[in-house]
């Protein structure tokens, strides 16, 4: 046995691109994509992706090149998840909410050779290209208008892009027998994603074919997703490639229902019209869906909803579940390619009351099967913290879906992936006696007030318990005495929130929190600023809190 070595038959590189080949055979006549009046089957999608890959290659794109996409959740965006890496190139999906300056930074940093741009974002991307230094080479632009595309190889010299071809021509002129470029090694790079909150020093996360294969299988099993689901795209595909479900739907022969934007009436219409079974998104989407008072929005059959990030408030969970949604909660990060911790539900919990079920569901849970090890450790010593649900530490993990590293940033890679073989996530959490993890904060979001660490999510959880509060976020405010104090930003519900003042919020918190955790400043807003994925933009709130100035000693004490 010791003399046996890997053979060519069992050393073929893993890649999720093979899911599409299989789907064309196993699920050939099943609808793959539905978008407005357009419907494709899996055999058609396979052929279209092969032809599109052939056309991309004819534009001079090959192994190791970066190809970017700036588009909403349309059929073109979905097809490019397969077609681009089928040429050996690296897929880079860009956040559509970014401004021209930031898009320019990312395109230059990635050295993108080709950029697919939805017509909705045409002007923004052209302005981004115009910011390139004169001596640098501009990427080729491909403009998408649902079914049309045009090519301009020198967009920086013009503010318009003339239409010379339509999208169907670009697809149809490709070779349907194109032999797609398989990875030489399963560790070959496949995707490049820039983390949310990107600054002028971008962090480009590079994943291999192997890590994307593992996270895709991992996600399908953990949720779990059966064969032939009907998946509604309410999560942006640019966000960690739709948590890998872009490739996952091919693996299980699912039907992708594409939407250009999240609109509550449109979402409910799509659910009803297509008998949607699964969807993903940030907790803010659940909040929006839960506000519906229309009797037509009560679901006839359950819809499974996977959410991540900050846990949805108990009140929101109760409302959406009463409408027919079955909510699952998980935790993931771009550096691990998707959801790597989930709240594995235990049958006995079904007998608990609604509030207790919501509390348990708010915990991120246990590692998914694709993660080899997960721990919460003291950042300095690396030792595991006590499993008491109180002692906080940094969440660390390792496994097959961890990134190759940050593009052009060896120092950042070494800081995140330590020499001891663990990915340090930058998230603070606790572990309960039953082994379940709960995220408490980002390391950078911990407020140090008078030497005490305040986890912002703990304060936010209490604030969401106030029936008048619609949204809440907590950041630090400078304080002359304590160093930092808690500053709460709140939007109020209509009706029940009328007349609520700062003193009411502070008093509510004093009854439920230690004194040092109680907000000393409350700022009311009509709506809290959010990223395109629904996360509250704490960096924007920090700037507001900073602009308020330091609290004087009389207030700080």
* CATH number where 500 lies: 3.30.300.30
Tell me, yes or no, whether 503 lies in a domain: yes
Query: How many structural domains are present in the chain?
Result: 2
Q: Which domain holds residue 541?
A: 450-548
Q: Does the predicted model carry a pTM greater than 0.95?
A: no
Are residues 202 and 54 in contact, defined by beta-carbon separation less than 8 angstroms?
no
Question: Is residue 276 in a domain?
Answer: no
Q: Domain for residue 477, yes or no?
A: yes
Alpha helices in 187-236 (DSSP H): 209-222
376: Cα separation from own chain's centroid: 22
* CATH code of residue 101: 3.40.50.12780
Q: Tell me the C-alpha distance between 154 and 278, whole Å.
A: 42
Q: Would 240 be classed as within a structural domain?
A: no
> Is there a contact between 513 and 452 (Cβ–Cβ < 8 Å)?
no
Q: 473 forms bridges with which residues in the sheet? A: 489
- Contact, 556 vs 484, CB < 8 A? no
Asked if residue 234 is part of any domain, the answer here is no
Q: Is residue 475 part of a domain?
A: yes
Looking at residue 310, its pLDDT comes to 67
CA distance 142 to 116: 5
pLDDT at res. 531: 73
Tokens (6 digits) for 505 = 């919020």
CB 50 within 8 A of CB 178: yes
Q: Check if the beta carbon of residue 393 is closer than 8 Å to that of residue 399.
A: no
Cα dihedral 278, 284, 285, 286 in deg (nearest 10): 60
Q: Tell me which of 188, 216, 244 is where a domain ends.
A: 216
Q: What is the pLDDT of residue 149?
A: 56
Q: Is residue 209 part of a domain?
A: yes
Whether residue 194 is contained in a domain is answered as yes
Q: Using alpha carbons, select from 114, 72, 82, 105 the residue that is nearest to residue 15.
A: 82
Residues with Cβ within 8 Å of 542's Cβ and at least 6 positions away in sequence, in order, are 475, 476
pLDDT by residue, tens only, the chain of 557 residues: 677 887 888 889 999 999 999 999 999 999 999 999 999 999 999 999 999 999 999 989 999 999 999 999 999 999 999 999 999 999 999 989 888 988 999 999 999 999 999 989 999 999 999 999 988 888 988 888 875 555 665 554 444 433 345 667 788 899 999 999 999 999 999 999 998 644 446 799 999 999 999 999 999 999 999 999 999 999 999 999 999 999 999 999 999 999 999 999 999 999 999 999 999 998 878 888 988 767 777 899 999 999 987 677 777 888 898 899 999 989 999 999 999 999 999 999 999 988 888 888 888 899 999 999 999 999 889 999 999 998 989 999 999 999 999 999 999 999 999 988 999 999 989 999 999 999 887 777 878 787 677 888 889 989 998 999 999 999 999 887 788 899 999 999 887 778 899 999 999 999 988 788 899 999 999 999 987 567 788 889 999 999 999 877 654 44
């Amino acid at each position: 046995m010791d003399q046996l070595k890997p053979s060519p038959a069992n050393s073929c590189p893993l890649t999720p691109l093979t899911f599409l080949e299989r789907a064309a055979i196993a699920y050939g006549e099943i609808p793959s994509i539905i978008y407005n009046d357009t419907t494709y089957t899996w055999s058609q999608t396979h052929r279209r992706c092969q032809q599109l890959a052939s056309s991309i290659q004819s534009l001079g794109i090959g192994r190791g090149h970066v190809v970017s996409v700036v588009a909403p959740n349309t059929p073109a965006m979905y097809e490019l998840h397969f077609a681009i890496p089928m040429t050996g190139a690296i897929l880079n999906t860009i956040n559509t909410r970014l401004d021209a300056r930031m898009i320019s930074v990312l395109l230059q940093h990635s050295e993108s050779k080709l950029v697919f741009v939805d017509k909705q974002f045409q002007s923004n991307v052209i302005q981004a290209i115009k910011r390139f230094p004169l001596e640098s080479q501009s990427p080729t632009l491909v403009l998408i208008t649902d079914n049309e595309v045009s090519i301009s190889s020198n967009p920086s010299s013009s503010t318009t892009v003339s239409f010379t071809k339509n999208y169907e021509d670009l697809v149809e002129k490709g070779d349907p027998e194109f032999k797609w470029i398989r990875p030489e090694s399963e560790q070959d790079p496949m995707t490049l994603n820039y983390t949310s909150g990107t600054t002028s020093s971008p962090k480009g996360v590079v994943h291999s074919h192997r890590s994307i294969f593992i996270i895709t299988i991992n996600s399908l099993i953990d949720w779990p997703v059966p064969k032939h689901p009907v998946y509604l795209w309410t999560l942006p595909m640019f966000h960690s490639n739709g948590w890998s479900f872009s490739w996952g739907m091919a693996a299980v022969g699912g039907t992708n229902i594409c939407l250009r934007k999240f609109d509550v009436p449109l979402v409910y219409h799509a659910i009803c019209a297509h008998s949607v079974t699964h969807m993903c998104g940030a907790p803010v989407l659940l909040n929006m869906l839960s506000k519906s008072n229309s009797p037509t929005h009560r679901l006839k059959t359950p819809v499974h909803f996977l959410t991540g990030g900050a846990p949805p408030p108990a009140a929101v969970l109760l409302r959406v579940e009463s409408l027919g949604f079955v909510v699952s909660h998980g935790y993931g990060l771009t550096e691990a390619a998707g959801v790597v911790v989930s709240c594995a539900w235990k049958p006995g919990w079904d007998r608990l009351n609604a509030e207790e079920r919501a509390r348990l569901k708010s915990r991120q849970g246990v590692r998914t099967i694709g993660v080899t090890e997960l721990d919460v450790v003291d950042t300095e010593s690396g030792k595991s913290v006590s499993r008491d649900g109180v002692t906080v530490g940094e969440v660390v993990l390792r496994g097959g879906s961890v990134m190759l590293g940050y593009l052009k940033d060896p120092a950042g890679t070494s800081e995140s992936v330590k020499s001891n073989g663990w990915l340090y996530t930058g998230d603070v959490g606790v572990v309960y006696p039953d082994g379940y993890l709960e995220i408490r904060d980002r390391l950078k979001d911990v407020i140090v007030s008078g030497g005490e660490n305040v986890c912002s999510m703990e304060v936010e959880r209490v604030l969401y318990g106030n029936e008048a509060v619609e949204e809440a976020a907590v950041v630090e405010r400078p304080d002359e005495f304590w160093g930092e104090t808690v500053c709460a930003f709140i939007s109020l519900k209509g009706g029940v929130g009328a007349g609520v003042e700062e003193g009411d919020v502070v008093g509510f918190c004093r009854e439920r929190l230690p004194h040092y955790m109680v907000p000393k400043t409350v700022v009311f807003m009509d709506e809290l600023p959010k990223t395109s994925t629904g996360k509250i933009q704490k960096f924007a709130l920090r700037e507001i809190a900073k602009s308020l100035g330091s609290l004087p000693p009389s207030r700080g004490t």
